[in-house]
Amino acid sequence: PELCCEFGALLGHLHIAGLAFDETRKNSMGLDAWKTRIAAIGERGEPEVMEVIQGEIAYIESNWPENLPKGAVHADLFPDNVFVTDGHVSGVIDFYFSATEFLAYDLAIAVNAWCFDEHHEFVTERWESLMDGYSRLYKMSDDERGAFNVLLRGAALRFLVSRLHDFVFHDPAAFVAPKDPSEYLKKLEFHRHARILSC
């Protein structure tokens, strides 16, 4: 939990800096990219999973927010992209997917990456610690809070789709093994039935 708090503060710093960054870059893993990958997967995906994905795409298209604060974001802040030295957060790497995007969407990606345990169960203590650190630096607006559940669902869907695509089209000769997409299916299902942030 202490590390989650430090990470939350780091993310708050990054978002404040991102608001002031004038350069822009399109999100290469936005909704259009999800649709392209879903179409490529086609019948190779399990019917039950593809049905969930298609339903979620429709929901997100109808409910995705507009005009939330945007800035330069990392968009891939998993624990393995954060350096920890002597038990404290000390740096960030891998800005490959960085883009101009809703700050709250970047937060949603981070929450999904940091606030679930190894069994993909939500850990309230981690969530509260992360948000404690984050809110010391960046105060979410009412609009961001109100949209946060759909952003969490979108963030889960983004990694479910990309992992499923990588799994389906994995080259057996490749050095890197594909990551399990079921992790993000479980996280998506959690957010479909729970709201972790009140408006």
The pLDDT confidence band at residue 198, using thresholds 50, 70 and 90, is: confident
- Per-residue pLDDT tens digits for 65-104: 999 999 999 999 999 999 999 999 999 999 999 999 999 9
pTM of the predicted model, to two decimals?
A: 0.96
Q: Which pLDDT does position 147 carry in this prediction?
A: 98
Q: Which of 28-42, 136-150, 169-183 has the lowest mean pLDDT?
A: 169-183
- Whether 75 is covered by a domain: the verdict is yes
198 occurs within a structural domain: no
| pLDDT computed for residue 43 by the predictor | 95
**What tokens does 171 get?**
């080259």
User: Could you give the percent of the chain with pLDDT greater than 90?
Assistant: 94
In a domain, 199, yes or no: no
Using CA atoms, how far residue 144 sits from 49, 59, 106, in Å, is: 29, 18, 12
> Pick from 136, 155, 137, 138: which is nearest to 196 by CA?
155
Whether residue 73 is contained in a domain is answered as yes
The residue segments making up the domain with residue 149 are 2-193
Q: How far apart are CA 77 and CA 59, in angstroms?
A: 25
Judge contact between 83 and 90, C-beta under 8 A. Answer: yes
Q: What CATH number corresponds to the domain at position 128? A: 3.90.1200.10
173: pLDDT strictly greater than 90 = no
Average pLDDT taken over every residue of the chain: 97
Average pLDDT on 155-171 reads 97
How many residues appear in the chain? 199
- Determine, yes or no, domain membership for 121: yes
Total domains present in the chain: 1
Q: Is residue 143 part of a domain?
A: yes
In the predicted model, what is the mean pLDDT of residues 126-140? 98
Structure tokens at 92: 């960030």
**What residues contact residue 139 under an 8 Å CB cut-off, 6+ apart?**
none
Please check whether residue 19 lies inside any domain of the structure. Answer: yes
Q: Is residue 22 part of a domain?
A: yes
DSSP letters, 128-174, are HHHHHHHHHH-PPPHHHHHHHHHHHHHHHHHHHHHHHHHHHT--TT-
Model pLDDT, residue 174:
82
Q: How much is the pLDDT for 199?
A: 59
